[in-house]
Amino acid sequence: MRLPLVTPPVPPDKHPPSASSIWAEVRKRLSWVQEGETLKQAQLFLLLAVIIGLFSGLSVVLFRIAIDWAKLLAFGSALAPPWTRSLLVPTVGGLVVAYLVIRFFPRVRGSGVNQTKAALYIYDGYIPFNTVIGKFITCAFAIGTGQSLGPEDPSLQMGAGIASALGRRLRLSREKVRLIAPVGAAAGLAAAFNAPISAVLFVIEEVIGNWTAGVLGAIVLAAVSSVVVSRWFLGDQALFRIPVYHLVHPAELLAYAALGVMGGVSSLAFVKLIAYARPRLKALPRWTQYVQPALAGLLIGVIGIWFPQVMGAGYEYIDQAMHDQFTWQILALLAAFKILSTSLSFVSGTPGGMFAPTLFIGAMLGGAVGGIEHHFFPWLTGGVGAYALVGMGTLFAGFLRVPLTSVFMVLEVSGNYSIILPVMISNTIAYLISRQYQRASLFDLLSRQDGMDLPSMEERREEATLHVEDAMRAYQGMVLNTEDPFQVALTRAEASAEVFVLLKDGRERWHGIKKDELRGWAPGMRQTDPLRDLIPETTLPYLHPDLPLDEALRRLGEWPLLPVVSRADLGKLEGVVGLPDILGAYRAAGRS
């Protein structure tokens, strides 16, 4: 017997969803991202940070592949190219890059760090999107054809550019658009370095300059998501194979201190060379800018015939230096030639980064110093690889002047905590030497050469913050009590040198009253009436001696002065601060 085919009944109100209804539902779900909802801006900012991280990670992956592909096409698959290619490729590459930069992407010159800072401090977070495209194309071509530059700083700027475009298009507030560029910068750098902590620290240390809680979460989110993407596609292996390291004897730290001295001196030489040559080359006639990168490429090619290691970013050679592949003489020569070739590439206006060359020079220098020390003191147990590793951080600290990032960068790259002591010693010495003989850091120097007065993070870090205690003075009078009889209070107030009299109530709260007001009430008052019936309910804000002075300005409002009280005892007056005191403190600080 066949069963009749029965179509299940459709409930009258359950129609299959149409495309338009799905679209409407999605938009309803996303309604919280509509403009004008202030509370949701913060959530949108965090969501955007993740999106920026993903985009940055993807663009950095494509960027790295573009560089490698350009290199393969230009030089072939051998590690050491034939000499004809060594000469021709960087020269022709330089010509092409110069044409692209001058004709189509004039904003892509330089490393990208200062451009990101300029976006933050000058252009309200604005970075044109064609800068991202230009940076991608020109840097991939420049680095791929052997210019001695790295991909990290361009990645940083590309991340910032992507972030800026997204932030602007989503019509974030001006403050958020301004802050979104560093978020993207952290994402780009993290993906390029495969080191999220270092990227976050660098952006905070060099771009933003302080730990702003409002943006820190977004920076971390962006950095993490970009690294996840980068690792997804390129794998999670470290940039270098790290040699085994153990500090056997504390006396070996002296050897690392010597490396710090050498790192400081080399950093100085590197910065001075760039500082000297860059403005001079920029001042040459405009047509020379078409040939400057080509000439730089030709000279690098000449060096590359004997030392192909100096061409491009050179990560594979850093790896080899860490494993004792070169004699100390070769390492020293490589460090010197890399300083020369990177300076040539950079001052000629070729777009590209300084991070990878800095690491390269540091590794070679570290290896050379380690080799020399081993030659004279064979009992040193730290291998040359350990010196190369520490050397990378040392030059980072001395040349880029980011001491905190330099330490964490080595830790993050090596994954070895025991290297921290040599790194800290060596980096600190290099940083101090560099600071002593070169007042402005590289980034500050470059921005000033470009006619911009970007805030110097280094100077900002060292600015002395004024505190309330710097402006505070003694209260010249007696503190009244709200329970005091009016006549007693008036007498005490008259005896005070202050025009504004402080009062304290039974609950240790502070009040204030002008002496003139007190006098004005005298005719209608009995002598025994307590003060509490007269004074206003409003309590007086108070300060503590350790608070920043600008906090005093904020709290002062219309009050003539504020009490400065102990943190341990809010009823104990330590002094008072008024507007003249604050201004006096600022003036004194300005004079000093």
What residues make contact with another protein under the rule CB under 8 A? 26-27, 30-31, 33-35, 51, 54-55, 58, 61-62, 65, 68-69, 72, 77-80, 123-126, 128, 166, 168-171, 173-174, 177, 233-235, 237, 241-244, 316, 320, 323-327, 383-385
Report, in Å, the least distance between residue 248 CB and another protein. 14
CB of 426 within 8 A of CB of 294? no
CB of 172 within 8 A of CB of 132? no
Report, in Å, the least distance between residue 171 CB and another protein. 7
Phi, psi of 105 (to 5 degrees): -130, 65
3-state secondary structure of 326: coil
Q: How many helices (H) and strands (E) does the chain have?
A: 24, 5
Residue bearing tokens 């600071």: 435
Q: How far is CA 22 from the centre of its chain?
A: 43
CB of 515 within 8 A of CB of 494? yes
| 384 versus 573: smaller Cβ distance to another protein | 384
Segment (H or E) for 270: helix 252-282
| 113 versus 118: smaller Cβ distance to another protein | 118
Report, in Å, the least distance between residue 84 CB and another protein. 19
Q: Tell me the C-alpha distance between 122 and 569, whole Å.
A: 45
| 221 versus 549: smaller Cβ distance to another protein | 221
CB of 83 within 8 A of CB of 143? no
| 54 versus 199: smaller Cβ distance to another protein | 54
CB of 142 within 8 A of CB of 153? no
CB of 209 within 8 A of CB of 444? no
| 368 versus 493: smaller Cβ distance to another protein | 368
Report, in Å, the least distance between residue 30 CB and another protein. 4
Q: Tell me the C-alpha distance between 152 and 382, whole Å.
A: 29
Report, in Å, the least distance between residue 68 CB and another protein. 7
Q: Tell me the C-alpha distance between 573 and 564, whole Å.
A: 6
| 322 versus 547: smaller Cβ distance to another protein | 322
Among 553, 235, 256, 208, smallest CA distance to 397 is for 256
Report, in Å, the least distance between residue 153 CB and another protein. 21
Task: State the greatest distance between any 2 C-alpha atoms of the chain, in Å, as a whole number.
Answer: 117
Report, in Å, the least distance between residue 178 CB and another protein. 9
Report, in Å, the least distance between residue 235 CB and another protein. 6
Report, in Å, the least distance between residue 312 CB and another protein. 12
Q: Which two tokens stand for residue 473?
A: 């003075």
Strand order in the sheet with 480-481: 480-481, 500-504, 510-514
Report, in Å, the least distance between residue 350 CB and another protein. 24
Segment (H or E) for 221: helix 213-234
Among 315, 330, 331, smallest CA distance to 239 is for 315
| 242 versus 573: smaller Cβ distance to another protein | 242
Report, in Å, the least distance between residue 345 CB and another protein. 22
The residue count of the chain comes to 592
| 109 versus 374: smaller Cβ distance to another protein | 374
Regarding beta strands 573-578 and 561-565, do their DSSP bridges make them parallel or antiparallel, or are they unpaired?
antiparallel
Report, in Å, the least distance between residue 322 CB and another protein. 8
Segment (H or E) for 116: helix 113-121
Which residue type sits at 224? V
| 178 versus 504: smaller Cβ distance to another protein | 178
| 18 versus 77: smaller Cβ distance to another protein | 77
Report, in Å, the least distance between residue 108 CB and another protein. 16
The radius of gyration of the chain from alpha carbons, rounded to an integer in Å, stands at 32
Among 293, 354, 358, smallest CA distance to 150 is for 354
| 169 versus 439: smaller Cβ distance to another protein | 169
Q: Tell me the C-alpha distance between 35 and 172, whole Å.
A: 8
Q: Would you put residue 559 in left (φ > 0), alpha (ψ -120 to 50) or beta?
A: beta
| 129 versus 521: smaller Cβ distance to another protein | 129
| 151 versus 398: smaller Cβ distance to another protein | 151
| 293 versus 371: smaller Cβ distance to another protein | 371
User: Which residue(s) pair with 543 in the sheet?
Assistant: 564
Q: Tell me the C-alpha distance between 325 and 392, whole Å.
A: 17
Report, in Å, the least distance between residue 126 CB and another protein. 3
Q: Would you put residue 497 in left (φ > 0), alpha (ψ -120 to 50) or beta?
A: alpha
